[in-house]
Every structure is written in C-alpha cells, then in structure tokens.
A and B are shown apart, each in its own frame.
Chain A
Amino acid sequence: MKKIFSRPESLRDVPTHYCPGCGHGIAHRLLAQAVDDLGIREKVIGVAPVGCAVVAYDYWNFDCCEAAHGRALAVATAIKRVRPENIVFTYQGDGDLAAIGTNETIHTANRGENLTVIFINNAIYGMTGGQMAPTTLLGQKTATSPRGRNADSEGYPLKISELLAQLPAVKYIERVSLHSPQEVLKAQRAIKQAFQNQIENKGFSLVEILSPCPTYWGMSPDQAVEWVKETMSKEFPLGRIK
C-alpha cells in the first residue's frame, strides 16, 4: 500500500513534554511540514524562545539556537545577517515576543529583517504556571490577575500584530488559529507563506497563532478549543493583517 501521510523529516520521532490539548505540538508539526514541503531543512536555523517551547529544538530535526527571554529576534537578526543564504526563523510566545522582548520585536520588524516569525498567542504564561500575559483577555483570571484582568490597572490585551502592521518594512502578517481542522489548514498555508517570503527575500513576515492552553485556562481540551473560537478570536480577529 502506498504511504500518503507521515511524520515530516523535520520533526523528530520523540514524545514532547507538552500538556494534553496544548497547541504547541500542532504548531511544531505545521512548521516542520512547511520546512519539508519547501525543501529547506538543511538550510534552516531555528531560534527557540524561553517559555513552554524552550526545548523545541529537541523536537525539530535541524540546526537550532537558544535565545535569552525576549531576545530571539536579536539573535535571529545576527544569524541571518551572517548567513543570508540560510533560512532563519524564531518561534516565540506572547510573553517572550510581546512583553520582555517588545523592543527587539518592534526594531527587528522596523529594520525589515528578512526573517520568519512564528508567534504563539495563548493569552497566558504557561511555563511559569499561568501568570498574566500581555495578551490575556479582560476579565481573564490568572495566577497574577486572580480577580480577572482589569483594564484600569493592567491595561488592555496587547495587539502586537496590529502594531507591527503599521511599520513600513513589515511585509506580511497573518493571524490564524488552531481551533478546527479548517483553521489548522489555514495556519499551515500562512506558515508556508511566511517561509516562502524569506526565500524570495521579501522581508519580515510574522504568523500569529491563537493556541489553546487548557491547563492554565482551567478547561478541558474541548472547552479550550471552543474558547479560542468563541472568545479569543473575537478579541484577536483572524485573517490577513498585512
């Protein structure tokens, strides 16, 4: 019988440490599939963040680099400038990209670095035990917003993708979600597009992925997926932003 579906070569055959229902596993696979489809595995250099995906390099089967919390895009900028023939991406969570690393995010985008950014937005800090993220929704309860996020004292969910879209050097931004097979397929296309842009030297491309975190949302995996669909994607509308 002919094999028509298998694990991408860019994804190692090992169990991950992610919780049941977490979106990282799907996002890792989509990224690995895009790398395989574009035939760039031997040219790719990935930059892993600090956060739940800190050991993403244990799961990806290509060259990878660590970055201090928030500094992935500074690290990636240098790798790409030193080796323009390689394909360089960062994989960052909302705390990494939109809180501690906001400065690097804005300035790397503003320089129009020819990079691919995969931005996982799950509205929470997962690795450290469910604290408030810059993207936490108003009213959402976390370890550090136990009464729910209050706009008066904690401000509003930060729409970093919309902010970045204002910058002239940014070429492509799309927000996708993992809440249904249909949306997962759209996410796959967006990730591939963001790599294709880099291959064609088009410049800074970012895909924001709304991703469930059942453990720290206090939900079952089913409920978490439903929350992304019904609540989170209302605050963070899906589709092409730039």
Chain B
Amino acid sequence: MKKILMTGNEAIAEGALQAGCRFYAGYPITPQNELIAYMARHMIEAGGVFIQAESELAAINMVFGASAAGARAMTSSSSPGVSLKQEGISYLAGAELPAVIVNIMRAGPGLGNIWPAQSDYFQATRGGGNGEYRTIVLAPSSVNEAYNLVQDAFDLADKYRIPVMFLGDGILGQMMEPVLAHSQRLSACSRVNQLPAKEWALTGCKGRNPNLAASFRLAEGVLEKHNMHLQQKYNEIRSNEQNYEGLFLDDAQVILVAYGTMSRIAKGAVNRLREKGIKAGLIRPVALWPFPVNAFTQNKKLKIRYLVIEMSYGQMVEDVRLAVNGAWPVDFLGRSGGGVPTEDEIIKRVLF
C-alpha cells in the first residue's frame, strides 16, 4: 500500500479499477469530469473498455450491455445526467444486472449550478425510474473512504445482481486527500473469483441452453412473480446491508444525523459541542438504502433529540422520522442551491 494524493473523482475511478471494473462508459459533466478523464487514461492499461458515449442514455445502456455480457461495469455523472440515466437503471433493476452508477451531485433543479448539493437523495433512494425497484445507495464521506467503498459497491452489485448508486457531492469529487491505495493494480480476477460465476451472462450458447437478459415479462402472472422475487431480495438486503458510523452514541442526548461531506462538518460541530459540555453524538449513514434504521433503535433509556443536517431542504430527514417513528423529536437544518450548513449554524441550532 502507498499514500497517494488524489481527488475524490480520481479515487472512485481507481477504486473501481482495483475492484475489477473493466467497462466504463460516460459523458462529460461538471463536477465529475476528473472521473471520466481518469478512466480514459487508465482503463485500457487495465485491460478494459473505455467509451465516451454520445449521451447519458447511451452510456447507461452500454453499461446494461456490458453487464449482460458479464463485465463489471460502471458509469458516472452528475445530477442532470443521472436523471437521464434513470430509464436504464430501471431496466438494470428489472433484468437483475449488476452495475455501479456514480452521482457526484450538484445543485438543482434543472441545470441548477455546479455547486455541491445532496438534493438527489430522494431520486437515489426511492428509485428515479419507472416501476417499483430499489438500488443499494452508498455515500462515502472522504476521498479515502470513496476509494474503498466503491470496491464494496461492485461486490454488493454482483452479490445481489442489483444496480448500486454511489452518491457523492461536488466537494467530495473535487477535493484532494491522501488515499491509502494498493501500490499495484490487482488482477481483475482476484476479487471477482471469490464470487459465484455469472452463469446468467451472455457469452454465446456453446454447450448450454441460450441465456436471456431482459426485464420484459408480458405473460399473465409472470411479472408479479418476478416482482415478488425482487421484493424478497430487497428485504434480504434490508436485513444484511445496513451500514453506518456512530459517534458518542452511548451517552449522546443530541444526535446529529448527516451523510457524506455534510457529516464531516457535523463531526466538527459534535466535537465543539462536547467541549462545551453538551452530550452530542453523530449517526453517519454510509448506506442510504438500505437506510440504517438499527442505528436509531439503540439505547432507549436516554432522552434523545435528533438533528438531521443536509445539503438539501429535507430529504433524508424523512427516513430518520420513519426510523424514530415518533419516539423522539427530529429537528432539521438544511441548505441547498450551493449553500452548505456551517459548524456555527449547526451549533447555534443545537443550543437554541
């Protein structure tokens, strides 16, 4: 391992290559351009395929084809571009094809601007495309975590045959931090070989019956049966894959809840509040779906107040309220359109 200084965008790209991602298609959009450029430079030397697609639609559908053909495949974009990918994500979910989709969020709605935001939480966690489906959603809070977590994203995608959304924001994508990275790129097989072979992949039907990758299920009852299977899979993921970081949860009476970049500012606020003698704590969801509801069901003896902080006008707060289910008050502080809540604003709200 060695320490490398890189942007979040580059760390996600390098982490993906380390995970055995051997197909990437993307389309330029700020603030994720370092990611597509990194893939253009390094995918071929890793023995994979890089394509600058003609559109976001083409890119996500290329990922569909690459995944159907058995490759670990990824695309990346930023908010308006991810909106364009939603149809393809719905098809991936319906056809049960694994894929990783990176969204380095910028402010909206519409073209919005290129400042950081967390306003695509609903789109990512509720499924922005048609039909009822779920995607696993992971949200790193540092460049080093992004490098490692994206590797988990590929494993989860393959394990459950599901698209995984990887959610960062413009700050995380652009910011440079040290990454403890593998000094050599591992062979694509080293991780993939630990997983079951993709017997469903399209490889040509030599020695077996033909395979089909499709989401279309026209005959009566067939789609309902398939959707029940998807729901069972989603319930399994809800049980197995909750992922969060807790800070001072044993004695905290004011628990801040924040993810991604926002959680680092919240962590600073927690430390300053502790210096003032206030028993503050932090829940940082690492997985946004499945939402880590278990983090909110601990320690029922203490009187607790939650404060959810987001770079949005209140999206994850709905999941916190569902998890808390009225047991404790849940307050909210958020800014969007490029605004980022500061430590001072958080502390002021807690002390108010």
Residues of A within 8 A of B (CB): 41-45, 47-48, 54-55, 57, 60-68, 71, 74-79, 81-83, 86, 103-104, 106-107
Chain A nearest CB: distance from B223 CB in Å?
14
Is the CB of B63 closer than 8 A to any CB of chain A?
A: yes
Q: Let me know if B204 and A71 touch, CB within 8 A.
A: no
Is the CB of B203 closer than 8 A to any CB of chain A?
A: yes
Stretch in B113-121, B150-158, B208-216, B250-258 with 4+ CB within 8 Å of A:
B208-216
Those of B311-340 within 8 Å (CB) of chain A:
none
A68-B61 in contact given A63-B205, A83-B203 (Cβ < 8 Å): yes
SS of A interface (majority): mixed
| Apart from the given pairs A55-B216, A104-B54, 7 other A-B contacts in the complex at a CB distance below 8 Å | A42-B206, A42-B207, A44-B204, A64-B213, A65-B68, A78-B65, A103-B54
Q: Let me know if A82 and B49 touch, CB within 8 A.
A: yes
Q: Let me know if B205 and A81 touch, CB within 8 A.
A: no
Is the CB of B66 closer than 8 A to any CB of chain A?
A: yes
Is the CB of B73 closer than 8 A to any CB of chain A?
A: yes
Residues of B within 8 A of A (CB): 22-23, 25, 49, 51, 53-55, 57-59, 61-66, 68-71, 73, 87-88, 91, 95, 202-207, 210-216, 218
Chain A nearest CB: distance from B112 CB in Å?
24
CA distance A66 to B94 in the complex (A): 11
Q: Let me know if B68 and A79 touch, CB within 8 A.
A: yes
Q: Let me know if A78 and B66 touch, CB within 8 A.
A: yes
A86-B61 in contact given A54-B216, A62-B210, A78-B49 (Cβ < 8 Å): no
> Closest residue to A86 on the B side, CB-wise?
B204
Q: Let me know if A66 and B95 touch, CB within 8 A.
A: yes
Chain B nearest CB: distance from A169 CB in Å?
14
Chain A nearest CB: distance from B215 CB in Å?
6
Q: Which of A67, A71, A86, A107 has the most CB of B within 10 A?
A: A71
CA distance A76 to B214 in the complex (A): 14
CA distance A160 to B104 in the complex (A): 37
Contacts of A82 in B (CB 8 A): 22-23, 49, 65-66, 69-71
> Closest residue to B62 on the A side, CB-wise?
A78
> Closest residue to A100 on the B side, CB-wise?
B57
> Closest residue to A77 on the B side, CB-wise?
B62
Q: Let me know if A63 and B202 touch, CB within 8 A.
A: yes
Q: Let me know if B58 and A107 touch, CB within 8 A.
A: yes
CA distance A48 to B54 in the complex (A): 21
> Closest residue to A104 on the B side, CB-wise?
B58
Chain A nearest CB: distance from B103 CB in Å?
20
CA distance A68 to B65 in the complex (A): 11
Chain A nearest CB: distance from B67 CB in Å?
8
15 contacts between A and B (CB under 8 A): A54-B216, A55-B216, A57-B212, A62-B204, A63-B203, A64-B210, A64-B212, A65-B65, A66-B91, A67-B61, A76-B65, A78-B63, A79-B65, A79-B69, A83-B202
Contact of B88 among A54, A61, A68 (CB under 8 A): A68
> Closest residue to A78 on the B side, CB-wise?
B65
Contacts of A43 in B (CB 8 A): 204, 206
Q: Which of A55, A64, A75, A103 has the most CB of B within 10 A?
A: A75
> Closest residue to A76 on the B side, CB-wise?
B65
Contacts of B215 in A (CB 8 A): 66
